[in-house]
Chain A
Amino acid sequence: MKKFFGFFFRNNSWLLLIALSAISLGFIKMEQENVVQRLNNAGTGFRAAIASKIASYSYLIGLKNENDRLLETNIALIGRILSTENAIRNEADRTRILSQKAESLKSFTLARVVDRQFSSRENMLLIDGGRSRGIRTDMTVMTPRGLVGRVVAVSEHYAKVMPLIHIDFRASVVSSESGTMGVLAWKGGREDMATVDHVPISSSLKTGEEMLTTNFSTFAVPGLPVGRVVSIKQGALFSTVTIQLAVDFASLNHVVVVSLNRDPEKLRLLEGKIESGTGR
C-alpha cells in the first residue's frame, strides 16, 4: 500500500499533467463537437421552454377573462345579426307589401262614412262610393283594424253597407291559434260584442285568441281580423263564444271597400246551378 501511494507521490507531476491534459482534451473535444455551443443552445432552449410554459400558464390564467370577453362580444354580435336580419326581413316584407299594394291598389277603394243608422228597424252604414268608383254588391268593407261588413246595395255614388253588428249578418271565422271555426253573428245588445256559433265543445279554443275571416266566405277577404275571444260558455253540443269586435263602430269614419275575386264556379255550386254527374 505504501508502494502504491509512493508511486503517486513520486509521479504526481506526471499525473497532474495527464489530468490537466485530459481536461484540456476534453474541452477541445467539446469545442470540436460544439458541445459547449450545444450546451448553450440547450440552455437557451430550456430557458425558452420554461418561459414559454410560464407564458402559457399565465395565458391559461387569463383565458377565463378572455373567454368572458369573447362571450360578451358574441352576444353583442348575435344581437346585431338578429336585428339586421329582422331589418332585412322587414324591408323584404315592406317591399313585398308595397309591390302587392301597387298591384292591388286598383281593387281597394277608400270611402267615407256619410251616414249611420242604428235603430231597431235598421242598422246600416252609408258610404260615399258607388258604381261610378267600381263598387259592387257583396264587396268587403274593412278598416285597417278589421272587418266592417259587406256592401248590400249600390247606387251611382253611394253604397249601403251591412255591418257586423247586424242581426242578419253572418260570416265564417276561424281562430288564429287553435284553428277553431265558427259562424260570426250579432244578436243585439252591445255594439262592440258579437258571438261565434257552431263551435264544438271539443275545440281547444281559448280566451284571448284572435278570430279571422276564412276563405270559406263568399264575400270576405280571408285573414281579416274580426275580434278577440273574451268568453266561452259550454253548451250541450256547442259552445257559445263571445268576441270583442276589432272595429270600433262608434268612431268609424272611413272604410276601405275591397273588390272580391269570387270564383263563379264555386258560387254556382253553392247555388245549386251545377248538375250532378250521377243525376243525369
Chain B
Amino acid sequence: MKATTFRIAALLVPVTLMQVFLMPNLSILHVSPDALAVLVGFTAISAGRNTSMLTGFIGGMLMGILTGQMGLLMLAGTIGGFMAALFQIPEECHATQSLKTRRFFLASTLCSFTSSTIMTAGLNPLALSPAYRIAVLGGIGAILTLLLAIAARFLFMKKSFAD
C-alpha cells in the first residue's frame, strides 16, 4: 500500500507535465486524452478513495499552476477521484487481472468524464452549448482517455495488474 502510494506520488509530476505538454498534440475536436485521469483511476482501484481524491486534488493543483484555473482543476480532480473510487477493489478482495483491468478502464473513463464535465461546466472558451460540451466533448474525452488507459495498461502496467 505504501509502495503504491509513493509510486503514485512519484508519477504525479511527470504525468501532469505530460498532460500539459504532450496530450494537446493528441487532441481531437479540441479534446485531448486525460493522462491524469488514468493515474487517478489506477490510484482509485489500487489505493482507495482518499488517495485517489488527493491525487486528483494535487494533480489539479499542479495543472492549475501551469495552466491557470487552479480551483476548477482541483475540484475536477477531487470529484473525479471520488467518482473513480466507485470502482475501488477492496484489499481483502482477491480480484482477477481482468477485473482489475476492467475496473481500471472504467475508473479512468469515469474520472475523465466527470472531470471533463466539471471543466466544461465551469469553462466555455469556445462558446459551445452546455449539452454539447458535456455530451460530445465529455464523451470524446472519455473515449480518448479510455484509449490512453488501454495503452498504458498493456504497455506499462503488466506487473501492476498481476493476479
Residues of chain A at the chain B interface (Cβ within 8 Å): 12-13, 16-17, 20-21, 23-31
Contact B82 A27 (CB under 8 A): no
A-B contact pairs, 7 of them (CB 8 A): A16-B49, A20-B54, A23-B74, A24-B57, A27-B74, A29-B71, A31-B72
**Does B41 lie at the interface of the complex (its beta carbon under 8 Å from any beta carbon of A)?**
no
Contact B72 A28 (CB under 8 A): yes
Contact B71 A20 (CB under 8 A): no
Taking the nearest CB of chain B, how far is it from the CB of A148, in angstroms?
106
Contact B71 A25 (CB under 8 A): yes
Contact A27 B54 (CB under 8 A): no
Residues of A within 8 A of B72 (CB): 24, 28, 31
Contact B53 A17 (CB under 8 A): yes
Closest B residue to A36 using CB positions:
B70
Contact B71 A26 (CB under 8 A): yes
Closest B residue to A20 using CB positions:
B78
Contact B75 A13 (CB under 8 A): no
CA gap between A21 and B79 in the complex, in Å: 8
Contact B71 A13 (CB under 8 A): no
Contact A17 B79 (CB under 8 A): yes
Q: Mark B68-96, 1 if CB is under 8 A from A, else 0.
A: 01111011001100100100000000000
Given known contacts A24-B60, A31-B69, A16 and B74 CB-to-CB distance under 8 angstroms = no
Contact A28 B49 (CB under 8 A): no
Q: Apart from A17-B82, A20-B75, A27-B71, what 15 extra A-B contacts exist at CB < 8 Å?
A: A13-B50, A13-B82, A13-B85, A16-B53, A21-B79, A24-B60, A24-B71, A24-B72, A24-B74, A25-B71, A25-B75, A28-B75, A28-B122, A31-B69, A31-B70
Interchain residue pairs A-B with the least CB separation, the first 10: A27-B71, A28-B71, A24-B75, A24-B74, A20-B78, A13-B49, A20-B57, A17-B82, A24-B71, A16-B50
Taking the nearest CB of chain A, how far is it from the CB of B8, in angstroms?
16
Residues of A within 8 A of B50 (CB): 12-13, 16
Residues of chain B at the chain A interface (Cβ within 8 Å): 49-50, 53-54, 57, 60, 64, 69-72, 74-75, 78-79, 82, 85, 122
CA gap between A234 and B23 in the complex, in Å: 122
Residues of B within 8 A of A20 (CB): 53-54, 57, 74-75, 78
Contact of A13 among B53, B64, B69, B122 (CB under 8 A): B53
Closest B residue to A13 using CB positions:
B49
Taking the nearest CB of chain A, how far is it from the CB of B83, in angstroms?
10
Closest B residue to A17 using CB positions:
B82
Given known contacts A12-B50, A31-B70, A31-B71, A24 and B78 CB-to-CB distance under 8 angstroms = yes
CA gap between A100 and B54 in the complex, in Å: 107
Residues of B within 8 A of A30 (CB): 71
Candidate in A24, A26, A28, A29 with the most chain B CB atoms within 10 angstroms: A24
Closest A residue to B72 using CB positions:
A28
CA gap between A27 and B78 in the complex, in Å: 13
Taking the nearest CB of chain B, how far is it from the CB of A188, in angstroms?
118
Contact B70 A27 (CB under 8 A): yes
Given known contacts A12-B50, A24-B57, A28-B122, A17 and B78 CB-to-CB distance under 8 angstroms = yes
Taking the nearest CB of chain A, how far is it from the CB of B85, in angstroms?
7
Taking the nearest CB of chain B, how far is it from the CB of A28, in angstroms?
3
CA gap between A247 and B50 in the complex, in Å: 122
Residues of A within 8 A of B75 (CB): 20-21, 24-25, 28
CA gap between A253 and B144 in the complex, in Å: 128
Closest A residue to B60 using CB positions:
A24
Closest A residue to B70 using CB positions:
A27
CA gap between A28 and B54 in the complex, in Å: 18
Candidate in B60, B78, B85 with the most chain A CB atoms within 10 angstroms: B78
Taking the nearest CB of chain B, how far is it from the CB of A27, in angstroms?
3
